[in-house]
């Protein structure tokens, strides 16, 4: 078995062409660019790669801290995880899954992990787990008190496509030390990691 190294870096420290490689040119990531949770319904209806990619690029340039982390496998850009203070994600306020959080909705010390992207051909190699650990480290360094995720529980669904796992899985979050705090729906959990403990 070949030894491989997974490195996690802030998106602010990555060349933009590496970000483009991860988001790709087809499938959901290539059209969303992690803007879904930041837009209202009217904005989302007219969104496209032409509007969303420049928005993420501007957020990387303008926001401190940066809105997520990239994964590199032996130097190749292979994955992305979105993590920011929860109030940055306007759409979360209106989502049923957030109703299960015991935290106040506009608390900047609560960070949310909303999205994972792992390139086709690089899945099932531990990249998701490394991304989540890197996202937690990023949040901790930037002053987060709690990190939350809203993963899918594949055991509660008849069938789950890889595209539906962009929230992550319950087992992925549990493997990174998160605990389940509620089940707003049978197949979705709110999971938290307390960084002050």
Q: Give per-residue pLDDT as tens, 101-142.
A: 889 888 999 999 999 999 988 888 899 999 999 999 999 999
**Is residue 161 scored above 80 in pLDDT?**
no
In the chain, what percentage of residues exceed pLDDT 90?
A: 64
Q: What is the pLDDT of residue 63?
A: 85
Average pLDDT of the segment spanning 145-152:
96
pLDDT greater than 80 at residue 171: yes
Please report the pLDDT score of residue 3 as a whole number: 58
**50: helix, coil or strand?**
helix
Print burial letters for 36-60: b (CB count within 10 Å at least 16), e (below 16).
bbbbeeeeeeebeeeebbebbeebb
Residues 91-109: what's their mean pLDDT? 86
Q: Which CATH architecture has domain 6-194?
A: 3-Layer(aba) Sandwich (3.40)
Question: At residue 169, does pLDDT exceed 80?
Answer: yes
| pLDDT of 18 higher than 60 | yes
Q: What's the mean pLDDT in 29-43?
A: 89
Give pLDDT, residue 1: 42
For residues 129 and 175, give the distance between their C-alpha atoms in angstroms, rounded to a whole number: 8
Residue 131's pLDDT is 97
In the chain, what are the domain boundaries? 6-194
pLDDT at residue 93, as a whole number: 81
- Tell me the average pLDDT across 63-87: 95
Backbone angles phi, psi at 163, to 5 degrees: -65, -30
**SS3 call for 117:** strand
């Amino acid at each position: 078995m070949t030894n491989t190294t997974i490195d996690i870096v802030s998106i602010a420290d990555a060349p933009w062409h590496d970000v483009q490689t991860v988001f790709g040119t087809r499938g959901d990531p290539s059209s969303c660019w992690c803007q879904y949770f930041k837009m209202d319904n009217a904005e989302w209806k007219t969104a496209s790669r032409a509007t969303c990619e420049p928005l993420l690029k501007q957020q990387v340039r303008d926001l401190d801290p940066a809105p997520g982390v990239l994964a590199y496998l032996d130097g190749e850009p292979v994955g992305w995880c979105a993590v920011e203070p929860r109030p940055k994600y306007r759409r979360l306020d209106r989502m049923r899954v957030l109703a299960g959080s015991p935290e106040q909705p506009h608390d900047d010390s609560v960070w949310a992990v909303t999205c994972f992207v792992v390139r086709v051909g690089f899945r099932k190699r531990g990249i998701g787990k490394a991304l989540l650990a890197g996202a937690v480290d990023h949040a901790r360094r930037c002053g987060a008190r709690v990190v939350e995720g809203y993963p899918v529980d594949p055991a509660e669904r008849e069938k789950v496509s890889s595209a539906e796992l962009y929230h992550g899985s319950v087992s992925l979050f549990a493997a990174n030390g998160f605990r389940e705090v509620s089940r707003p729906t049978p197949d979705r959990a709110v999971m938290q990691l307390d960084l002050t403990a």
